[in-house]
Amino acid sequence: MPESKTVAFPRDFLWGAATSAYQIEGAVAEDGRTPSIWDTFSHTPGRIAGGDTGDIAVDHYHRYRDDVALMARLGLNAYRFSVSWPRVQPTGRGPAAQAGLDFYRRLVDELLAHGIKPALTLYHWDLPQELEDAGGWPERETALRFAEYAQLVGEAFGDRVQQWITLNEPWCSAFLGYGSGVHAPGRTDPLAALRAAHHLNLAHGLGVQALRSVLPAGSSIGVSLNSQVVRPLSQDPADLAAARRIDDLACGVFHGPMLHGAYPETLLEATRSVTDWSHVLDGDLRAIAQPLDALGLNYYTPALVSSPATQPQGPRADGHGDSPYSPWPGSEDVAFHQTPGDRTEMGWTIDPGGLYELIMRYSREAPGVPLYITENGAAYPDKVDDDGRVHDPERIAYLHSHLSAVHRAVADGAEVRGYYLWSLMDNFEWAYGYAKRFGAVYVDYATLARIPKSSAHWYGKAARTGQLPPVDAV
């Protein structure tokens, strides 16, 4: 049975690519931009592999026209990017910086002129350093500042951007930023991490309300969660309990308040040794549980966990690098194991079934809310071949299998309306610096030249035809 016949997507499906400001823009001191926590962090010796920083990144700030033209040539019809908070509101408070807003206006207009639908993420981890100096996400004040920032950006672009995303992967902001410390600001305090999670939730809720007050009817507001797929190593009750605790800390801590207006009871219980949750004030849960027009899911790999009693820690596979500090407050004892199967260069097991499970789960958690895969992709050690091309059959296989999983979920009734490949182009991969390449487009870091990999051509063909080409079609 020819695959290309059966794997056809809905006609209005969004075939996009995703990026984030700090990972691609560079130009960190131009037009009034001030440092974010990622500037500070990347300039702190020992934090980033190779001492890399986002100072230049892939210079998208100056090359955005070419980058948009490239997306259009490939055939993409959607692009997810993030706005750098310190570029448009340098101190994290007060009036907007016009030059910063102008950059995003030019970018959005360029996208629209090429028939590419913009999806704007307000916060992809680059908190203005000034707000971190005032306490950062563990402090309630930061959520109030975020709502103001959301309103400012909403007012500026509500007339031309239809799709809005408040936060990208708040799990990383809270638990890698303040728990394991492998992300900015690099703090390692379990209580601060749980407080940060709540204030990110509050920022989301207040941000949605602020956006609603300024965006035209028909705008779509959502959030992108890296809700993980957590599997127990066995059906032993101790392993099931361990999986429950990690699932609460990965997913429930965000989707509980956002979708159901409450933190899971099991989460409150399992974190009692860290906090009594007295930072959750009256009315917060109501403020957080705003109706959403879309839910973004970012997916890379599942987690496999056990109780330390049934099976001690295997090779660390919990995504927090080699930090001795845990990103799982109150559940530091849970053991993580390597999921069987081939892995990408991140060491992340390739498991498209996990994406299917994730979609089906959120179809149930958020019935009637359209879903978008706002990130999915793979890092491989790509090289330019003698023929001047970059051949990445592994990435094509990864995309094919994951898009097939999306298709299967759609066939089973899930309302998935779009897919954004992570990432449009190679970029600053956070703590890994430029050593990991997630792009469909290769970036030569010596010249900053862009070379579409074979996966970019393959994905472009899928976008143009609305169906998955065979993996050897390029």
Residues of the binding site: 23, 124, 168, 300, 422, 429-430
Residues 25-44 that bind ligand PNW (CB under 6 A): none
| Catalytic one of 169, 332, 345, 394 | 169
Residue closer to ligand PNW by CB (options 23, 151) is 23
Alpha-carbon distance values, 91 to 147, 179, 267 (Å) = 14, 25, 35
Residue span binding ligand PNW (CB under 6 A) among the ranges 115-123, 168-176, 229-237, 278-286: 168-176
By CB under 6 A, tell whether 319 contacts ligand PNW: yes
By CB under 6 A, tell whether 454 contacts ligand PNW: no
Among 168, 271, 307, 349, binds ligand PNW (CB under 6 A): 168
- DSSP β-bridge partners for residue 406: none
From the annotation, which residues make up the binding site for substrate?
23, 124, 168, 300, 422, 429-430
Residue closer to ligand PNW by CB (options 86, 170) is 170
| Catalytic one of 269, 375, 394, 415 | 375
Active site (annotated) includes residue 169: yes
By CB under 6 A, tell whether 129 contacts ligand PNW: no
Find the angle CA(57)-CA(20)-CA(354) to the nearest 5 degrees.
Answer: 120
Residue span binding ligand PNW (CB under 6 A) among the ranges 145-153, 164-172, 269-277, 279-287: 164-172
Minimum distance from CB of 359 to ligand PNW (Å)? Answer: 18
Alpha-carbon distance values, 199 to 117, 125, 152, 173, 218 (Å) = 30, 14, 19, 11, 28
* Cβ-proximal residue to ligand PNW, closest one: 319
Distance CA 294, CA 366 (A): 9
By CB under 6 A, tell whether 422 contacts ligand PNW: yes
Find the angle CA(104)-CA(450)-CA(460) to the nearest 5 degrees.
Answer: 80
Number of Cα atoms under 13 Å in the Cβ half of residue 332: 13
Size of the site for ligand PNW (CB under 6 A): 13
Minimum distance from CB of 345 to ligand PNW (Å)? Answer: 11
Minimum distance from CB of 237 to ligand PNW (Å)? Answer: 26
Binding marks (x or -) toward ligand PNW, 189..228, rule CB under 6 A? Answer: -------------------------------------x--
Active site (annotated) includes residue 269: no
Alpha-carbon distance values, 187 to 27, 325, 459 (Å) = 26, 10, 39
Residues 232-251 that bind ligand PNW (CB under 6 A): none
Residue span binding ligand PNW (CB under 6 A) among the ranges 25-33, 69-77, 165-173, 356-364: 165-173
What are the tokens at 343? 């892995």
Residue closer to ligand PNW by CB (options 54, 319) is 319
Minimum distance from CB of 430 to ligand PNW (Å)? Answer: 6
Distance CA 397, CA 410 (A): 20
By CB under 6 A, tell whether 85 contacts ligand PNW: no
Distance CA 416, CA 5 (A): 20
Binding marks (x or -) toward ligand PNW, 278..317, rule CB under 6 A? Answer: --------------------x-------------------
Q: Which residues are catalytic?
A: 169, 375
Interface with ligand PNW by CB under 6 A: which residues? 20, 23, 168-169, 172, 226, 298, 319-320, 375, 422, 429, 438
